[in-house]
């Protein structure tokens, strides 16, 4: 659709797969390890990445530096305010939802709420355009839960989904 697309991934297997199967230019590693020179981007997307980074402020500063002034950052992260999920988990498991375990398959180093991510983005120099529920789930249980969360969202305006999306742009 006219976009010049680049990707970034930690997994060498994923980098090779995307290059070979999709023909997309890929970088292996994290954002701080790549020098883009003077290249600027119209859009940067991060789907469930920021919560895995050691220093989200550093990552967001780098993104701001490589975005055009009228560019957009679109990201999604898990939501620490996923109240319905926490209640259901407590009922089914008989204990509180854990936030961290070194045995987790995908280690989350940082947890966000819509309000906390909004503040971090503003601190780095972004203007937040929108905070919205992340409807991107695959399993039927998640879709059912998102249906309940959507009803609550429509009534209260509070984002209690398991994840949320943010759209932001660099501030003047």
| Block residue for tokens 């898990």 | 78
Q: What is the pLDDT of residue 83?
A: 77
Q: What is the pLDDT along the chain (172 residues), one digit of tens a residue?
A: 788 899 998 889 999 999 999 999 998 888 888 888 888 999 999 999 999 888 999 999 999 999 999 999 999 998 888 877 777 766 776 766 666 556 666 677 888 999 999 999 999 999 999 998 887 767 777 778 778 888 888 888 888 888 889 999 999 7
Ranges assigned E (strand) in 12-170 = 25-28, 41-47, 67-78, 126-133, 163-170
Cα–Cα distance for residue pair 166/134, rounded to 1 Å: 9
Q: What is the pLDDT of residue 98?
A: 64
Q: What is the pLDDT of residue 112?
A: 94
- Parallel/antiparallel/unpaired status of strands 67-78 and 163-170: antiparallel
Cα–Cα distance for residue pair 132/48, rounded to 1 Å: 14
Q: What are the φ/ψ torsions at residue 165 (nearest 5 degrees)?
A: -115, 150
**To which H or E segment does residue 7 belong?**
strand 6-9
Cα–Cα distance for residue pair 22/89, rounded to 1 Å: 38
């Amino acid at each position: 659709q006219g976009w010049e697309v680049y990707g970034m991934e930690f997994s060498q297997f994923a980098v090779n797969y995307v290059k070979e199967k999709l023909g997309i230019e890929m970088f292996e590693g994290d954002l701080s390890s790549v020098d883009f020179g003077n290249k600027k981007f119209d859009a940067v997307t991060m789907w469930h990445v920021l919560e895995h980074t050691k220093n989200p402020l550093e990552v967001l500063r780098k993104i701001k530096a490589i975005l055009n002034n009228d560019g957009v950052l679109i990201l999604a992260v898990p939501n620490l305010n996923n109240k319905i999920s926490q209640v259901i988990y407590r009922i089914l498991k008989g204990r509180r939802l854990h936030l961290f375990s070194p045995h987790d398959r995908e280690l989350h180093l940082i947890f966000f709420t819509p309000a906390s991510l909004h503040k971090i983005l503003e601190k780095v120099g972004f203007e937040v355009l929108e905070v919205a529920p992340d409807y991107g789930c695959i399993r039927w249980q998640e879709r059912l839960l998102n249906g309940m969360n959507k009803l609550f969202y429509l009534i209260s305006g509070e984002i209690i989904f398991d994840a949320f999306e943010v759209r932001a742009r660099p501030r003047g």
